[in-house]
Amino acid sequence: MVGMRGKVTGRVGPRLVGEIMVQVRGGSEAFLAYPVNPGEPFDIGQLVTVVDYQAPRTVYKQGACG
């Protein structure tokens, strides 16, 4: 999971648990998402990179993808 790219489908921000969709196992799957830098907001549609993964469905992400 770490290093994979995803698209924000549920806004991430302070006191919010967001959601991203990541292409895995031949399809797209939803993961709960938190910013790696607390308080950093991410809007729906923004592309992000997974920097940490906690099984079964939680990822930490940062910044926009190139």
Number of domains in the chain: 1
Task: Indicate the pTM of the whole model.
Answer: 0.81
pLDDT of residue 19: 94
| CATH number, domain containing residue 40 | 2.40.50.140
pLDDT of residue 30: 94
Mean pLDDT in each 10-residue stretch from start to end of the chain (66 residues)? Answer: 92 86 93 86 92 84 61
Is the separation of the CB atoms in 21 and 30 below 8 Å?
Answer: yes
Contacts of 37 (CB under 8 A, 6+ apart): 62
Closest CA to 60 of 38, 27, 28, 44: 38
